Amino acid sequence: MLVGLLTPEVESLEARSTMLGADALTALAEAESHLAQITDAIFRLDTGPAADFAGYVWFVLTAVEQLQQAPYAPDAAAVVQRPLGFDQMDSALRVRWIAFASAVRRTYNATDRDQRRRWTPPVTRSSSPRRTTCLRNAGPPR
């Protein structure tokens, strides 16, 4: 019994990105569909892998924007492609995730600078800060 614990199967040692799972692929397909139909779809994503990745991209864009004053600021596009999943996925899927990251970037760039910074920490987990702002301003999401 102890020998089994000390010599795990190769499959149990393999690290696989959640970006490759069925849930992630379904979430990506839904996000792509929403992006094609709704202007601010990034703010309306259901909780899950696509929303988590959008939050990650938003966080990276905010961090890079703040570092632009530094002489060696990183390239946001390169940073966004660093998660393990990008090394594990095929090129067709990589293109889809990168296109999704580009849509997040377009939304980020179109969002007021003060608002996008305020939304950054919570956006890494959900879009509720934007909804709260809309409610506070008595305006519906655009």
Lowest mean pLDDT among 60-64, 70-74, 129-133: 129-133
pLDDT per position as a tens digit, 66-106? 877 666 666 777 888 888 888 888 999 989 999 999 888 88
pTM: 0.67
Going from N- to C-terminal start, the domains of the chain cover 16-136
pLDDT at 2: 56
- Report pLDDT digits (tens) over 104-127: 888 888 888 888 777 665 444 444
Average predicted confidence (pLDDT) for the chain: 75
3-state secondary structure 81-133: CCCHHHHHCCHHHHHHHHHHHHHHHHHHHHCCHHHHHHHHHHHCCCCHHHHHH
The answer to whether 61 touches 105, Cβ cutoff 8 Å, is yes
Question: What integer is the mean pLDDT of 35-46?
Answer: 79
